[in-house]
Amino acid sequence: MSSFFFFISRAGCCFQSYTAADPTNLNLHNPQADEFCKTEKLQIVGYYQANELSTDMDLGPFGRKIAEKIKGQFARAVVLMVDGSKTSVSESDLCLQLLGTDGKPSNQPLTLRDASKAIAFLEQSLNRGAQQQVVDFDAHLDDPSKDWLNSGVVCA
């Protein structure tokens, strides 16, 4: 299998709980995400997931469904699973497992451009509590005034 790369410029938070992650919300989210991407000339290329249990690295049926839906629009879709069992991020260990859309680990290498700069930015964001300000799409459905794009929450 040949290597490939692309630049991920933005990540969005769709769901922060499995109760929010149901097919109804996924269907509501897609048109808004698609319209945003069209307007900004972006493309949805993948999905990231962090499970509640730090040792759980299973994508699960809903995660696989999301990944397959993305793959239907972008053939080389990627899935990143956050490895919650790791306690710190480094350039050699990003605490992310690259998965196929089927949930199986990929043998492709995962690299991050300007890793030291990105890690420093992540640490600064966590130190200022940015993770407490993130709004998921489900919260936006409950209160449309909440910004599901999280503009200004985590910006370089």
Note the pLDDT of residue 114: 87
Note the pLDDT of residue 20: 46
pTM of the model: 0.78
Instruction: Give 70-92 as a DSSP string.
Output: HHTT-TT-EEEEE-TT-----SS
Instruction: Answer whether 49's CB lies under 8 Å from 79's CB.
Output: yes
Determine the 3-state secondary structure of 46 from DSSP: strand
List alpha helices for the chain, DSSP H.
23-40, 60-71, 115-127, 137-142
Note the pLDDT of residue 147: 84
Alpha-carbon span 141 to 147, nearest angstrom: 10
Give, in degrees to the nearest 5, the angle at Cα 105 between 50 and 4: 100
Mean pLDDT of successive 10-residue stretches along the chain, which has 156 residues: 65 60 56 85 88 91 88 90 89 90 89 87 88 81 85 71
